[in-house]
């Protein structure tokens, strides 16, 4: 994409056919095809160029770039019937198209940090002078006598302070120890051209330090903050007639997981204003709420690209990206492996309510961590990894009393895991194959099912048709599973706050978990 939009294979490295096209290629040509789809409401500046062409009445423009071994880059556009447009028509579309989409490529920071810092510096200086430098003609100002240079610097610095404040708010929200981020210009006239110093005020340090003095992860995050600043400047600079598109290679490089998560959240927020393409080796940068924008790329031996789905996501994360024990250092003295996030939320919430009610026989949450594993079938895998740390902490696996839970339970029994380390949720007297949310008093359970049915999250199944009082089960659409679980958990905790005596099955479970954790810890 960087080659398509900028004619470069790497930052500052223009395409060279003999170097960049495989010599053994049969055609000795590489082809890049991109189809652009436009929104009539958002892309008004570009649509006039194509609105009178019947071939693009559906607001899509397919463009092909051929890169040949002799060094030429040749763009071509075909209509909906596959006919090549004439040269005149192509120019009318292609020139404004490439100018309309302003593509910024950020390669892996570890390889090009100096080049990227310099490039971002150049872009911000250019955008600042053109966008915010009202009343200051830079060329004229620098051409005057040096005695006037201090006045020029002061005027420009006042303008840059706004940029520094903007980036400071973003950076400090993710890295609180950084108090302030300034854009500073050199004080010497000879050092002025093309230079800007990034100076940072950090907690515990008397002197301001340069961006190069910070860790590589913070440098990376700062660069992405500067990209956002460029977007904010855009309406008032030379890019005002274009849309930004960012191509970012491995943004997780040198970042610990917390900063990775915050970076992902920011990029996800920025994507509301333009396209952001990311390549990554980190599972943090997979949008697990919607896999439809994620692809898995492998080369074994040929390049293969496949869309990530709910069905293959676990294989991609664990098999391709790798699951390392170092990614899961959230242990406590006692640890309970549960199937999902809602199980954790429910057990933590109820445990707290029982303690507030004076029931001290439940778990001490200062010593216990609930670790969601994603599903019952995943628990044996995680249990096997965590077992390496059983010398220092106890691990208990908790399963729903359904087919999947019993199967995973038996799998660990077959691995010779001690039974005191494995727990099934208590049996429900009214619900076969009971899950975590099914062991509450029946009156509360029936009331919640009615509420979820009214919200169209559940379909009630009754013993006697038409008699909703005889609720014995429910069904929900597969794609509503997450919403259903969250809603059920929220309602359970709501009722527990006023009717805790209806939740005795959960009290029994918490007491059992406390005993199992203590027993497992004593044996280690």
Cis before 518 (ω within 30)? no
Q: How far apart are CA 33 and CA 278, in angstroms?
A: 19
Q: How far apart are CA 367 and CA 330, in angstroms?
A: 12
Q: Crossing angle of helices 481-496/442-454, nearest 10°?
A: 130
How many other C-beta atoms can be found within 10 angstroms of the C-beta atom of residue 132? Answer: 17
Q: How far apart are CA 504 and CA 439, in angstroms?
A: 9
At residue 502, the 3 state secondary structure works out as helix
Cβ proximity of 129 and 138 under 8 Å: yes
Query: Which of 21-30, 146-155, 295-304 is predicted with the least confidence, judged by mean pLDDT?
Result: 146-155
Q: State mean pLDDT over 440-444.
A: 90
| Helices (H), ranges, 193-274 | 216-233, 257-270
pLDDT in tens, 344-365: 999 999 999 999 999 888 998 8
Q: State mean pLDDT over 250-272.
A: 88
Query: Does position 508 have pLDDT exceeding 90, yes or no?
Result: yes
Query: Which of 70-84, 87-101, 137-151, 273-287 is predicted with the least confidence, judged by mean pLDDT?
Result: 137-151
At 454 the pLDDT is 86
DSSP annotation string for 343-390:
HHHHHHHHHHHHHHTT-TTS--TTTEEEEE-SSGGGHHHHHHHHGGGT
What is the Cβ-side half-sphere exposure of residue 8, based on CA atoms within 13 angstroms?
A: 12
- Would you give the end-to-end CA distance of the chain in angstroms? 55
Instruction: Name the more confident of 136 and 395.
Output: 395
Ordered by where they begin, the domains of the chain are: 2-105 (no CATH), 108-285 (3.40.50.300), 328-523 (no CATH)
At 132 the pLDDT is 44
At 489 the pLDDT is 93
Query: Does position 380 have pLDDT exceeding 60, yes or no?
Result: yes
Instruction: Name the more confident of 191 and 42.
Output: 42
**pTM, whole model, 2 decimals?**
0.54
């Amino acid at each position: 994409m960087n080659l398509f939009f900028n004619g470069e294979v790497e930052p500052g490295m223009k395409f060279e056919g003999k170097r960049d096209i495989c010599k053994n290629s049969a055609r000795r040509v590489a082809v890049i095809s991109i189809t652009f789809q436009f929104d009539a409401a958002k892309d008004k500046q570009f649509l006039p160029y194509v609105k009178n062409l019947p071939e693009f009445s559906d607001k899509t423009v397919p463009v092909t770039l051929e890169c040949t071994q002799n060094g030429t880059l040749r763009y071509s556009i075909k209509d909906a019937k596959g006919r090549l447009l004439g040269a005149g028509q192509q120019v009318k579309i292609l020139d404004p198209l490439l100018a309309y989409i302003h593509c910024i490529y950020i390669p892996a920071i570890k390889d090009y940090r100096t080049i990227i810092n310099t490039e971002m510096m150049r872009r911000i200086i250019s955008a600042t002078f053109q966008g915010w430098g009202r009343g200051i003609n830079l060329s004229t100002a620098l051409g005057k006598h040096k005695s006037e240079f201090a006045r020029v610097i002061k005027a420009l610095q006042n303008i840059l302070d706004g940029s520094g404040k903007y980036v400071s708010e973003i950076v400090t929200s993710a890295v609180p120890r950084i108090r302030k981020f300034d854009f500073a210009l050199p004080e010497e006239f000879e050092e002025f051209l093309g230079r800007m110093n990034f100076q940072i005020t950090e907690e515990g340090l008397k002197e301001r330090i340069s961006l190069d003095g910070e860790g590589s992860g913070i440098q990376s995050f700062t660069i992405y903050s500067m990209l956002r600043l460029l977007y904010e400047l855009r309406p008032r600079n030379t890019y005002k007639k274009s849309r930004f598109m960012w191509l970012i290679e491995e943004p997780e490089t040198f970042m610990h997981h917390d900063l990775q998560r915050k970076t992902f959240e920011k990029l996800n927020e920025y994507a509301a204003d333009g396209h952001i393409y990311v390549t990554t080796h980190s599972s943090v940068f997979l949008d697990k709420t919607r896999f439809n924008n994620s692809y898995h790329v492998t080369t074994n031996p040929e390049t293969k690209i496949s869309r990530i789905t709910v069905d293959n996501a676990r294989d991609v994360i664990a098999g391709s990206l790798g699951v390392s024990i170092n990614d899961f250092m959230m242990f406590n003295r006692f640890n309970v492996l549960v199937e999902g996030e809602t199980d954790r939320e429910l057990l933590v919430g109820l445990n707290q309510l029982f303690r507030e009610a004076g029931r001290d026989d439940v778990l001490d949450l200062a010593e216990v961590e609930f670790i969601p594993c994603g599903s019952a079938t995943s628990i044996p895998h995680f249990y096997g990894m965590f077992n390496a740390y059983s010398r220092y902490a106890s691990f208990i696996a908790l399963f729903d009393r359904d087919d999947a839970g019993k199967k995973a339970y038996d799998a660990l029994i077959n691995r010779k895991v001690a039974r005191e380390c494995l727990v099934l949720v208590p049996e429900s007297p009214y619900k076969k194959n009971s899950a975590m949310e099914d062991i509450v008093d029946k009156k509360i359970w029936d009331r919640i099912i009615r509420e979820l049915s009214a919200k169209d999250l559940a379909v009630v199944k009754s013993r006697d048709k038409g008699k909703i009082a005889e609720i014995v089960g429910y069904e929900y659409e597969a794609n509503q599973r997450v919403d259903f679980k969250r809603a059920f958990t929220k309602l359970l905790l709501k009722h527990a706050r006023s009717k805790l005596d209806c939740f005795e099955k959960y009290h029994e479970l918490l007491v059992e978990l406390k005993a199992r954790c203590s027993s497992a810890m004593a044996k280690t």
